């Protein structure tokens, strides 16, 4: 056994021993079933920064650029998620267990991301995943086995998994039964939620639901219900994306209300749920328009393309005394300046892929809007700020370079992107420090 293996084994043993002592002393987190499972002031887990971030900080310091080095350090020492994307069931079990033990030692709540569903990302930059539904379920069983039955953890299940079903991109699966693949994807996500909760009843499981500029409320509601959202804590929004927080808050509340309406008031009637693509309702005499994702929505906006009063009055009229009870979380890691609207003429601007001039968003916080949005459990940094979205080419055929970043080849998805990491920190809203 080499020295590195021995070192890691020693660290793991020390963490496990400390966690056991804390548990025996009554200091380890053990949050039972509560109406508010993430109370105000909840401390979230901060993983160690990546080697890419450490290298960037060292290089900045070597150039005596202490200001930017401090910004990167501040960026990577904020609470953020830990992603699990591959490996054998045994390996993912070990990695999950290490993270949960570390968070127990620091008395923090970790955010874990399960991202390994077969055919993920429609064969785009983050393609991959388990080789079959059977292999995926074995992997999820390994993931779940790494959890503790008495620890509160947040688990984000398969970012874009429901928003990017095989049926949404059939060309990515040539010669395959797309309908069967779609049914398998939904069943896999439902299985994941069930397996995680069986292993840890204290886990807060959120099925990913895309974001406020993607699927209509009725469409994503149908997908969430099929995937078993009623059996878990709720859903997540904006993972790895850049949509405005106010828009996501509105959209999340509509999805929660649509679930309440279609399960309690009028079963299956998703067509009556209001959404961002037509804002008609009693408040505006049913004269709706499509909402503009490049501005911030509100009930008082003077611009009809940003005004949500019609949609909210629509839910009030169809729900009566029924209220939405399905909870949600929002990824605010990179949405401080909202989505990017390209001014250049590209075949596909890929607004989701390493957009320039963006900034870090609101810091992780439990129950950030308890009165206005009681079903919003938390702002979280789910996407790791500073990691690339992929090797973007803005849809230019045959190109492997990104004109928005000076014609460089962007780092692969998940790799550290120093230029973007620094820009996100410099343009954070609210500002760092």
* Residues 45-94 pLDDT 10s: 999 999 999 999 999 999 999 999 999 999 999 999 999 999 999 999 99
Q: Is 5 exposed, middle or buried (0-12, 13-18, 19+ CB in 10 A)?
A: exposed
pLDDT score for 25:
33
> Comparing C-alpha atoms, which of 96, 73, 64, 66 is closest to residue 83?
96
pLDDT score for 35:
55
User: How do residues 135-166 score in pLDDT, each as one tens digit?
Assistant: 999 999 999 999 999 899 999 999 999 999 99
pLDDT, average across residues 228-246: 98
pLDDT at residue 284 tops 80? yes
Taking the C-alpha atoms of residue 192 and residue 200, their distance in angstroms, rounded to an integer, is 12
**Tokens at 394, concatenated:** 């803005």
**Is 310 or 23 the better-scoring residue by pLDDT?**
310
Residue pair 211/219 in contact by the 8 Å Cβ criterion: no
User: How do residues 406-430 score in pLDDT, each as one tens digit?
Assistant: 999 999 999 999 999 999 999 999 9
pLDDT, average across residues 298-308: 98
The SS3 assignment for 257 reads helix
pLDDT score for 127:
76
pLDDT score for 78:
98
pLDDT score for 9:
41
Torsion of CA 239, 241, 243, 248, to 10 degrees: -10
Residue pair 47/79 in contact by the 8 Å Cβ criterion: no
> Comparing C-alpha atoms, which of 330, 160, 162, 325 is closest to residue 256?
325
Contacts of 232 (CB under 8 A, 6+ apart): 157, 193, 197, 205, 206, 207
User: How do residues 187-201 score in pLDDT, each as one tens digit?
Assistant: 999 999 999 999 999
pLDDT score for 36:
65
Contacts of 332 (CB under 8 A, 6+ apart): 238, 245, 361, 362, 363, 364, 379, 380, 381
pLDDT, average across residues 316-322: 97
In words, the CATH class of domain 34-268+325-426 is: alpha beta
User: How do residues 251-274 score in pLDDT, each as one tens digit?
Assistant: 999 999 999 999 999 999 999 999
Helix or strand (DSSP H, E) at 54: helix 51-62
First to last CA, the chain: 44
């Amino acid at each position: 056994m080499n020295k590195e293996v021995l070192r890691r084994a020693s660290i793991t043993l020390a963490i496990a021993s400390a966690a056991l002592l804390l548990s025996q002393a009554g200091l380890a987190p053990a949050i039972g079933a509560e109406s508010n499972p993430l109370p105000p002031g909840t401390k979230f887990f901060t993983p160690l920064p990546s080697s890419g971030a450490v290298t960037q900080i060292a290089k900045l310091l070597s150039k005596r650029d202490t200001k930017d080095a401090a910004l990167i350090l501040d960026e990577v020492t904020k609470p953020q998620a830990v992603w699990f994307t591959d490996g054998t069931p045994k390996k993912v079990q070990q990695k999950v267990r290490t993270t949960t033990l570390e968070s127990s030692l620091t008395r923090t709540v970790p955010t874990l991301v399960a991202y390994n569903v077969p055919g993920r990302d429609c064969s785009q930059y983050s393609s991959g995943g388990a080789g079959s539904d059977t292999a995926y379920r074995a992997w999820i069983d390994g993931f779940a086995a790494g959890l503790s039955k008495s620890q509160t953890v947040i688990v984000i299940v398969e970012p874009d998994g429901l928003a990017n079903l095989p049926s949404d991109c059939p060309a990515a699966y040539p010669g395959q039964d797309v309908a069967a693949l779609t049914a398998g994807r939904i069943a896999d996500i439902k299985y994941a939620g069930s397996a995680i909760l069986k292993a840890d009843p204290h886990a807060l499981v959120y099925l990913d639901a895309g974001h406020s500029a993607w699927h209509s409320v009725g469409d994503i509601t149908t997908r969430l219900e099929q995937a078993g959202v009623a059996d878990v804590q709720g859903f997540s929004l904006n993972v790895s994306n850049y949509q405005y927080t106010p828009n996501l808050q509105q959209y999340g509340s509509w999805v929660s209300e649509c679930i309440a309406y279609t399960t309690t008031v009028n079963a299956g009637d998703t067509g009556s749920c209001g959404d961002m693509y037509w804002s008609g309702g009693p408040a505006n005499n049913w004269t709706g328009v499509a909402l503009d994702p490049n501005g911030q929505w509100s009930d008082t906006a003077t611009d009809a393309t940003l005004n949500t009063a019609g949609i909210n009055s629509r839910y009030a009229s169809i729900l009566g005394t029924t209220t939405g009870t399905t909870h949600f979380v929002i990824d605010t890691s990179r949405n401080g300046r909202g989505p990017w609207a390209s001014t250049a003429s590209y075949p596909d601007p890929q607004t989701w892929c390493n957009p320039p001039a963006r900034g870090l968003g609101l810091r992780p916080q439990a129950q950030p809007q308890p009165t206005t949005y009681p079903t919003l459990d938390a702002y979280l940094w789910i996407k790791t700020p500073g990691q690339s979205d992929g090797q973007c080419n803005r849809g230019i055929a045959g190109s492997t370079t990104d004109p928005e970043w000076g014609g460089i080849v962007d780092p692969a998805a998940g790799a550290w992107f120093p230029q973007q990491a620094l820009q996100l920190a410099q343009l954070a809203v609210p500002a760092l420090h």
